């Protein structure tokens, strides 16, 4: 596993906290994390971006409004506005890094943002991996609503309950799950993190993609979904596989919403093979 380097990158009035692995001369991959309370790039991707550093230049930013990236004050007024800001600033991040075109891996909310980037800037995005992605017209699950409304009762117990809902078998992660929960709790208490979380879901869940929109995608796409996902049900994965032209679907057994954390080696193998054109 290679060393993860970290830097802050200004983009206009905003600032990204960015983690990278691999050689900058390799094909670039932008890794976009999900939206749980206290979520960061490393909490989503630390287990896999090191393993894939031999073939790829991996770029994993804290998305604007998360972690140690900047938090707009005031934030955009609606969830849709915040999603658009994130799309725009991520394209700006690629510009700042001198990357003309990048593959993309999006988890949950990261999939919503990534699809927006590909639809609005098709020349900038190569292959796409959607993992437990939002953006499908499926009814919100009880556990997704717990994520959205976490700040109604922002306790350690509520966070632990949410973390367990992210996984198929929490006991497999052992102390790792506790480590994730502890690191998130520190961030959750920051007022700017709370402000951004509430704005992310203001007035509605972040965007949905209609079949006619998805039909316009020309990017090779792999849909990865945990079979036991309680946050974003498997029906969402089937929806994307059905409506994105020539998309491939990989259903990961014994995995929930955090397939990349529960099954990091399998996830890295499948996603790495797809991103490098081997499947």
* pLDDT exceeds 60 at position 1: no
Indicate the SS3 state at residue 28.
strand
pLDDT in tens, 91-150: 999 999 999 999 999 999 999 999 999 999 999 999 999 999 999 999 999 999 999 999
Distance CA 236, CA 216 (A): 18
Distance CA 237, CA 129 (A): 11
Out of 62, 88, 143, 229, pick the active-site residue: 229
| 168 is an active site residue | no
The whole-number average pLDDT for the span 49-75 is 95
Angle, helices 156-165 vs 175-188, to 10°: value is 130
* pLDDT exceeds 70 at position 273: yes
pLDDT in tens, 175-205: 666 676 777 788 899 999 999 999 999 877 6
pLDDT of residue 216: 95
Strands (E), 63-220: 102-107, 125-131
Out of 35, 53, 69, 108, pick the active-site residue: 108
Distance CA 20, CA 271 (A): 17
Question: What proportion of the chain, given as a percentage, has pLDDT over 90?
Answer: 81
- The three-point CA angle 87-98-196 to 5° equals 30
Please state which of the ranges 63-67, 155-159, 176-180 shows the lowest mean pLDDT.
176-180
Per-domain boundaries in the chain: 5-275
CATH 3.40.50.1820 fits 5-275, yes or no: yes
| 229 is an active site residue | yes
Structure confidence at residue 244 as a pLDDT band (50, 70, 90): very high
Structure confidence at residue 156 as a pLDDT band (50, 70, 90): confident
């Amino acid at each position: 596993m290679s060393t993860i380097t970290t830097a802050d990158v200004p983009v206009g009035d905003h600032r990204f906290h960015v983690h990278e692995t691999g050689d900058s001369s390799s094909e670039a991959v932008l890794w976009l994390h999900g939206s749980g309370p206290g979520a960061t790039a490393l909490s989503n991707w630390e287990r896999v971006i090191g393993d894939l550093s031999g073939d790829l230049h991996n770029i994993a930013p804290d998305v604007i409004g998360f972690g140690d990236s900047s938090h707009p004050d005031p934030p955009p007024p609606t969830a849709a506005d915040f999603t658009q800001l994130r799309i725009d600033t991520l394209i700006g991040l690629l510009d700042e890094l001198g990357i003309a075109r990048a593959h993309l891996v999006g988890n949950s909310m990261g999939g919503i943002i990534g699809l927006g980037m590909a639809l609005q800037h098709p020349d900038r995005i190569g292959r796409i991996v959607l993992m437990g992605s939002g953006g499908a017209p499926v009814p919100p699950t009880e556990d997704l609503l717990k994520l959205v409304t976490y700040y109604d009762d922002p306790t350690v117990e509520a966070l632990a309950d949410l973390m367990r809902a992210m996984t198929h078998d929490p006991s497999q992660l052992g102390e790792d799950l506790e480590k994730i929960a502890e690191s998130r709790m520190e961030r959750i208490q920051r007022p700017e993190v709370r402000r951004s979380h509430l704005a992310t879901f203001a007035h509605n869940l972040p965007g949905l993609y209609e079949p006619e929109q998805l039909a316009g995608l020309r990017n090779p796409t792999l849909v990865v979904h945990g079979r036991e996902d309680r946050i974003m049900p498997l029906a969402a994965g089937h929806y994307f596989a059905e409506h994105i032209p020539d998309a491939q679907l990989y259903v990961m057994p014994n995995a929930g919403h955090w397939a990349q954390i529960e099954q990091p080696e399998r996830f890295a193998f499948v996603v790495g093979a797809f991103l490098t054109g081997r499947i």
